[in-house]
Structure 1
């Protein structure tokens, strides 16, 4: 049997076919482009479908058959679709911030469904953007709220299908009842809302052969990209955590109960088995390298960066304006304290800066009472850099594992296979393989204590983090 996983990312669509044992049988990718203008970020939804058809068609030519398919997408990307899965509005991407005024309204009049998840709306959340779209576009009466994955699943099945709770979290779904609260008071009536199911639920079957996927193939409700990468990491046990390092950074973990973050930077998804997946999405990440070192030889810079451990310059590497996790500051911009002496040190300061953000993320969840004694996995495109993987172990001061296949598309193949294994945990146990285990280099972790402390203090002085998190983070440095 083979399972198809699809990842609708920011920069491209990736498709993976995996066996029951977790072997990658074939993979392919196609690029996507975005339109950015200040705080606005859009993509053409038709590009998602075109890229999917091309990548999936390439993969299915290399496998005998596909037994199931699951799709993940960027968290908080939203649009409206009609019954024929035709876009009725632009697609506002996960970090589009034009709906800030609507988010302010939601903070003053909270959505019931977010309370249990410990969620506090941010300007980029899907519900705020949905309200903006309704007020700023002529949306036909029959069009429904949709997330990035919904366009593909609806077109595959050939009729409107349910959305999943993972993607619907930022749209206001109640994760305890798996139903929508009353959103009509925000001018989003029930008839504009899709049905909701847990990830891994069978949505239907492929209506007609598409991109080499036979009619009758099972289509499974998906996840957000961060949750998909968590599945790929195998971090599904209580106290386990996964950093997804791609264009931006995502932390996901597993706890028995949802966490409560008074600042609203962290929130919890609901796992298919009823446990909770707390975490958050930062605006820092490897996208800074694509932006600032686009023409550089990154492998050579990895080698050169070893001379700067630590770099004298300390960088907070935001990809775009505004930070969402481990703190929420819409006004935040990337900054560097100190002056790098050359490109190699500037590059080193970015790699180290991302690792410092990861350290702060773990400090945040620990300060909220979450166990962090389980394994920490690294997934995402940046795991291609062996040096960066090791650096993260050094800065975090703990062992990290890198799965053999570290991307969301593979995680979705595992989710699709869960229909045969009986549970997601069983599928992950059978399919997720560890590629590397990395322990901190002797004497190296201590080098990063002082610059991490300096970054924490800088964030506090800017008013971006509060006294509670600052003190917890600084107190924890004695353990390194």
Structure 2
């Protein structure tokens, strides 16, 4: 007899991954295929056609590994990534990626046009968000008549079903969708001059969008007639995959960038606009943010290097130097600094010292993220799970536990693709139902008390430098120092 499985597809920056997950949480099959990007200055693009090619290859690989019956599929994508298409769904622009920041001027226009709305919702759209990028494309791209917006996720679900699909409200948030009233703010679009006719319909995550069509079945190996469920953004998907579903629980995804996502029963209000809240199908709020810092800097600085060997050497070496770990210019969480570039505090003697300074930099940025969330009143008492490529490093996990001064948990088979399999199973019901019956194993890392003083001092050195350079607001710097002194 074949296993019943639900497919979860994670469309990341560097690859697309697909997992086939059974009712008890076992991964019956998995597949992945790489993606390539074009970066230049504040621009970051990918070819939308490559997303589909990678999805098809990954899903075929996952389904070739086991005799399974597919009961549903959901996918996540990078938050704020968009493409404009014609009415037939053919791309007429490149895919503008989640951290493409060319729309800085348009962000100001959007902020001013919807000032009252953004204040009520508790965030401010940034240049990397989808709405300013939509305005930039509308102003600068050579568009056909009746061009329409598609988020990375709904572009792909449209190809899976063979017809245009609604966007999920999670991906629509950065395009200005009002999650509290569940509608597009048409007056804001009128004010900035973008026709509301360009916008897709929006549904809640877990809603059935249609079924896999015959053409998509041939390309992907996913059986025709398989229900396609509306997904969520990658950060939300990783939270679901980690199993951190209770209020006060958090998940930190350390991939190309660092993404934090947690669960609250009320919406956080952020005067700086760097923390924004998605809505879960069960009604809770999922606040968080995406930093420009992350593991992507390791690939950029040490291409092709044996990172496991470098981890071992870094563990032996120690050190106190800190490098702010971003690939391209600009930070967006836990503070906004469009002009920030990578910099190092302290002396680095060689590549190992520099490598270690980058790992410490990520850990200190993560700590600053939690300090800022605490300043906003977010509950952070629950489980902290860590996922993503960076969580495969035991050395880095222990470093993060030492810097954060709290236990961290690394769940097995917990990633964004797993989260989408859970959502495909749960639909619009309670998320816990999607994970019901799962058998989970996890590795736990406890903070070492003999590391506390060193990391406290180094962390405050970074806080002082960010504050001195004018990037970290006074209130955030004060709160970080207060928490350290506790």
How would you bin the TM-score normalised by the shorter chain? over 0.9
1:469 paired to 2:480: no
Q: Shift of residue 16 of structure 1?
A: 0.9
- TM-aligned CA deviation for residue 392 of structure 1: 0.8
The one of 278, 285, 292 equivalent to 1:283 is 292
Instruction: Choose which of 442, 453, 457 in structure 2 pairs with 1:446.
Output: 453
Give SS of 1:223's match: coil
Alignment-derived partner of residue 430 in structure 2: 423
Q: Secondary structure at the match of 1:67?
A: strand
> Distance between the aligned counterparts of 2:420 and 2:85, measured in 1?
23
- Equivalent of 2:18 in 15, 20, 28: 15
- Secondary structure of 1:430 counterpart: coil
The offset of 1:65, in angstroms, is 2.2
Which residue of 2 is the match for residue 393 of structure 1? 401
Shift of 1:295: 2.7
61, 67, 73: which one pairs with 2:71? Answer: 67
- Indicate which of 196, 199, 203 corresponds to 1:197: 203
Q: In 2, distance between residues paired with 1:222 and 1:432?
A: 23
Q: How does 1:266-281 map to 2 (within 5 A)?
A: 266-281=275-290
- Relative to structure 1, is the Cα distance of residues 104 and 32 closer, same or farther in structure 2, using a 3 angstrom cutoff? same
Secondary structure at 2:348's aligned position in 1? Answer: coil
Partner of residue 26, structure 1: 29
Does structure 2 retain, via aligned residues, the 8 Å contact 1:111–1:172? no
Q: CA deviation at 1:443?
A: 1.4
Shift of 1:436: 0.7
Give the structure 1 partner of residue 306 of structure 2: 297
1:260 corresponds to 2:264: no
Name 1:347's counterpart in structure 2.
355
Distance 1:15 1:156, change over 3 A: same
* 1:435 and 2:442 matched: yes
> Where in structure 1 are there 5+ consecutive unaligned residues?
none
Return 5+ residue gaps in structure 2 as ranges: none
Most deviating of 365-374 and 107-116: 107-116
User: Are 1:170 and 2:183 counterparts?
Assistant: no
Q: Note the alpha carbon deviations across 1:9-42, whole angstroms, 9 max, x for none.
A: 1111111111111111111111111111111111
C-alpha root-mean-square deviation of aligned residues, in Å?
A: 1.5
- For the 8 Å contact 1:6–1:70, the answer to whether it is kept is yes
Distance in 1 of aligned mates of 2:275 and 2:231: 21
Q: Which residue of 1 aligns with 2:252?
A: 243
User: What does 1:129-148 correspond to in 2, within 5 Å?
Assistant: 129-148=133-152
TM-score where L is the length of structure 2: 0.95
Instruction: Tell me by how many angstroms 1:269 deviates.
Output: 0.9
Checking the alignment, whether the CA contact within 8 Å between 2:123 and 2:272 is kept in structure 1 is no
How far 1:236 sits from its partner (Å)? 1.9
Matched, 1:53 2:61: no
Match of 2:338 among 330, 335, 353: 330
Q: In the superposition, relative to structure 1, how do residues 185 and 465 fare at CA in structure 2: closer, same or farther (>3 Å)? A: same
Distance 1:253 1:463, change over 3 A: same
Number of equivalent positions: 477
- 1:84 corresponds in structure 2 to 88
Aligned to 1:159: 163
